[in-house]
Structure formats: structure tokens, C-alpha cells
Structure 1
Amino acid sequence: MAAMAEFSEDRADGGTVRFRGDLSLARLGALPERLDKVDGAFKRVDLSGIDRIDTVGAWLVHRFAIRHEAVVEGLDADDQRLFDQVIAAEQPVSLPPKQPSGLIHLIGEIGDATVAAGRTFVGLLGFLGATTLAFLAVIRHPGRFRYNATVQRFEVVGVTALGIIGLMSFLIGMVIAQQGAVQLAQFGAESFTINLVGRLTFREMGVLMTAIMVAGRSGSAFAAQLGTMKLTEEIDAMRTIGVSPMEALVVPRVMAAILLMPLLGFYASLVALIGGGLLVWTTLGIPPAAYIQRIREVVPITDLYIGLIKAPVFGAIIAVAGCFQGMLVEADAEQVGNRTTAAVVQAIFMVIVLDAFFAVFFTWVGWV
């Protein structure tokens, strides 16, 4: 059996520490603790008397030599290669930064989110400007307008969305009528349920719910499509052959959303009126003819104008947000999902903010 690892000190001629025995993990014993207690300076570490050395032993000797500024001598060629590899593998350990307190961490997250929101807002404004310039370029050069692509976007944004938007609007109209009738019945004013359904549908819910549905369907589709094209380098190929991606990809999508949102909003309002009228007929006993007549009396034409004014603005916001996030995709497919989610959240948030602004503005101008 190999001898246990040992060492001896020689203070002559600048000081030498001589190791002997087996410098391997199994035979070190208490050698590391004993070496830590050695004081003084040494010029050399002599390893010519050892029988064997492994990585742990080499690291122990190297650490001792560094601490005492000594030179290691006496290794044969194989052991010297092992020793050199141990020295080369020495890397400083980076400790994770100390986590701040909960309040500081919360404030930092709020700050990071604010900066990210500001950068996104600035980028969205820049993209909106680029989209406007692309529209102007298409107007100046009508031959560059992508008619087939625009018609296809019409089908995706509008025609295929009629079913889900109609079902959603029908159910929302019934819910508004049912809840309104229950609350107004406490005051004996069930007939005013028609006023509630008519005005709320044309003024707010019809176009707002349509915008949210279009953001979920078409806004996410725009982001996913353009993001996938970025990953497959199709957009770079278009630039290479002299085709503007803004004119070929963004303009048709934005135009389709702007033109079809008023139609979809009006359609959603009519379907919601049908749903509300059905519930009023079955619950309150008001026949359809009386329901329609009352709608004509209590809903001013300005409510219809308000919905038609808001709809194209919402459509532009949804399309621009979707295309903007799609154009930001880089590196990997995971970003397609992240940017698609960001496009939907961003579009819905801005639609709700603009809807609140429009509500205050139209009240201020007297359209109440």
C-alpha cells in the first residue's frame, strides 16, 4: 500500500518544502489542515519524492505554492502535464449579486417596466411614421399597391370573423338586456332596458368588443406571420430584390383593418340589438315592432357616428401593433410567441385607453 502523504520543511537556502508519499485524495489524510498552519516564506516546493499525485493533490500543492510564492519542482513529464492543467483550470468564482430588499426590488422592477414601456411607445410611434410614409409612397405610385394581398387581408380580417363576432355580440346583447332588466325592475323601469341596450351597443360595446376580438384574431396573426417571415429571412430577401416590406406586408394589413373595422363594428351592434331584443321579447313581453320603434326614438344618430369614428382608429392601432411586434422578432422561434402575445396585449391596452379618451372627448363636445 502506498505511503500516506507527508511533507517536511527545510529553512536553509531560502526555504524548501519537500513532499513525499501518495498525494492522492485517498491518502491525503490531515495534510491540508497541516499545510494551512505552515508559516513563513519558501522559495521552492520539491515534489521529487512523491509516489503519485492526482488532481486534488496537484490543486493542494498549487494553492500552497501560491500562498507562499514558491516554485514547484521535481515533477516528471506526466505529472507536470497534470499540474499545468490544474493551473490552467483555475478560474475566479463569480458570486451572484446580493439580492436587494423587497421594496428596492419592487421599485427596480417598476423602473425597468417603465423604461421598457417608454421604449416600446417610441418604437411604435416610429413604426407608425414609417407606415404613414409607406401609404404616401403607394399613393404616389399606385402601381406598387398590392391589390391581391389587400383583398386576402379583407377576407382574413372581416369575412372569416363574422361568425365569432356575431355570436359574441348576440350573447353580449342578451347579457346587457338581462342585467339591465334585473336592475331596472327594482325601480319599475323595465322598459328603459331598451334604452340601455340601444345606446350602450352603438356607442361603446359593439365597436369595443369587436376591436378586442379583432386584436385577438387578426393582430396576433399579423405578428405571427411577420415574425415567421423574419425568422425565415423572407423579409430580408424582399429588401434584397428591392421590394419594400412596409408596402408589401404592412400597408395591406393596416388598410384591411382600417376599412373593415367600421363594418364589423356596425354588424356587431346590429347583432347585439337582435340578442337584446330577443331577451326583451321573451322576458319583458315587449314585441319586436315596439322594440325597434323604441330604439329609433331613444338612440340618437350621434351614437352611430361615435362608433363609426372610433372603429377605424381602433383598426389602425391593432394592425400597427401586430405588424410592429412581428417585425421585432429575431434569433429564435420562441420570440414569435412572445411577440404575438405582446401584440395582443399592447393592442387591447391601447384600444381601451383610446376608448376612454373618446368617451371624455365626445362628452366634452356635447355628443351625450
Structure 2
Amino acid sequence: MALPRRRLKLVVTVMMVNLFIFIIISRQSSQDKNGRNKVQIPSKPFWSKVVPSAAYWNRKQQILDLQNNPILAANYSSADMPDWLNDTSLNSDPCQPNSRVTTQVKDYNSLPHRFKDFLLYMHCRSYPIIVDQPDICKQPPFLLLAVKSLAPHFDRRQAIRQSWGRAGVIANQTVVTIFLLGNATAGDHHPDLSEMLHYENARYKDIIKWDYRDSFFNLTVKEVLFLEWIQTRCPGARFIFKGDDDVFVNTYRILDFLKGLTEPKARDLFVGDVITNAGPHRDKKVKYFIPESMYVGTYPPYAGGGGYLYSGDIAARLHNVSQHVTLYPIDDVYTGMCLRKLGLAPEKHKGFRTFNIEEKYRSNPCAYKSLMLVHPRTPQEMIQIWAWLSSPSLNCQ
């Protein structure tokens, strides 16, 4: 009795499945006849038209994005292009001050002078190079150490030359060191050190200098100029360390770290002391203060500007994408913006200590053995730490 029931259930199940398939086929056939299954062409653009941001940097970035994205630009015909998107006309000399910004930033007149200066010239990306080392990378280095410095900081540069920035062959790898400078102007109350700098460069041949005002907000200019310099003078550099002249760098540890990387990891390398979930400071007393009239939103992840390490391949990609990112007055944040544009993010490495180490460990040589960077350090401390790490008798087991 059980067997006939099972057969009946099976027959009913098969009939139900066939009926279900018949219904689906019938619906598809009906849709084909009515033309409903054909490719549908949208009657409206997929993206809505962009509403201009009230913040000046955000609005400038919107313009760049539209200029470089034909899909977004297709939302606008030449007839209905709004005025704010046409705001690309500057003087014939692109590095003349843009006086229109004085009316485009609502609180321009009340901003500190450093902001006014930045806003007037933020469209300028190209400055003449006045001191160059065209042959310094004739033999492509394994590691290029690029140090941001100011003309008066001779003691820092000299300490770096005598310690972690010693160029040549270290741990069987070629290391090249350069110092990145702009003009230390009288307007910023710097003494005239041009003769001293001329002598220093003749002696060491490691200074790269451009003809622009070397100020805190112009560190981003130094960044884009350096990326251009790499592509013209040192495109064969396998890796680049870029940092400030008041940090100590354990070059031995960096070389050891780099030699242990796999090829895919080495190609996309960008490591440092990464800051996430940050945003602009709104307190005018803070060095990194940014008003809402200039920028709104959060920052992408970025590596602290004290120093970070990346590949030559990433340097080339950063150079290309930087042309599509509006200059921002904080250079490490700007580099994070460029990485985000590439679809990348910097990787945090515990060996980068841009906010120092605990005070009780600072005089212990072994505390620096496994680190790549510590900030800040005086010229005397750089030489002392390097002597510790270079000593054959150092035992940190």
C-alpha cells in the first residue's frame, strides 16, 4: 500500500514542476512578443547633476572630477553648463595670483594670511627648478631617501648625512639621499643663506631646490614637484622613503624589511603611521586648522608626513593621479587623497612612530632596533642613535 502512495506523490510532484516550467516559458514568450524583454535605454542620465559645494576645495575638486569624467560631463550640454563649472579661466600665466578667489571664498578677508596666500596660488603646480642633480640616479638606487628640509636647517641635513641618510652601499643595497627645498624668503623673516646653500650643494651635491615659497602650506607643492622630479630624474628607484628632517630613520631595518617583500607586495607598497577617521581641525589655534569655507568632509586614511615608505611603481601612479586632485594645504592628507583616487589605502606599520616612543625607552639603544622611524629627534640624537645601531657590540637578545 505504501508503494502506490509513493508513486502517486512522485507523479504529482513531476506534474507540478512541469506546470511551473510551462508558466515561466509562457510569460517569457509573451514578454518577447510585447517587446518588454528588449534592452531598455534610460530616458534620464543615471547620475544626477552635481550641486556645487559651498566649500572652495570641494567645489574645485568637483570641477576636476567633471572635467575628467565624460560620463558625468554628459549630464550637461554646452548650452546649460552652469557658471560654476566654467570657472576654469585664469590668467595666461598660470602662476599669477587668482584674484577671483577673494570673492569665491565667503570669509576670505577674515582668514589668516597663510590661507590667503595658499588660495591665491593653489592652482599653480609648476615652478622652475633652480638646483638639480640630474645624474644622481644614473645608477638606479634600491632606496631613495627624500628629505623635506628648509634652507636654514643645515645642522639637520648634516646630521642626516652623517647618520641614517649616509648615501652609498648599505647592507649590499644602493642608497641615494636628496634634500628637497624651496625658497626661504625674506618675507617669512629668513636670513639670506644663499651663499651657504651654494657652498653646501657644491660640497655634497644632494640638494634639489625649486623657485617657490617654502612654507608649511606649500609642502603640497613640494610633494607634486618631487613626484614630477622622480619621473624625470629617478624613475628607476625601486623604493622611496619621504620624510621630514627632524626624524630618525633606521635605514638598516628598512632595507631588511624591503628585501623580505614578495613581488606583488613590493609593487603596491605604501606604509607608514596611518591615521584614520580624521577630519579637519576647526580650532583656529591649531596648526592644522582648516575653515569650513575651504573644506568639508572627513579625510581619507593617510600616513603621517613625518615619514612613509612606498614603491617606485606607486610613485609613478601618484604622479599621474595627482593631476586630478586639487591641491590641499596639508601634504600628507593630500597624498592620502591621491591614494584614494587610485583605489588604494596606506598600510599601517608599527615600526613608524611619528608620535615618539615612551620616554623610559628613549635612551635604550635596543628600543630602536626594530623600528623604522621615530619622530622627533635632534641632530645630536640622530648621530647618537645611529652610532648605537652601527655598533657590532650591540646585543638586543
Same fold (TM over 0.5): no
Query: Which of the two has greater strand per residue?
Result: 2
Query: Which of the two has greater helix per residue?
Result: 1
Larger radius of gyration: 1
| TM class by smaller structure | under 0.3
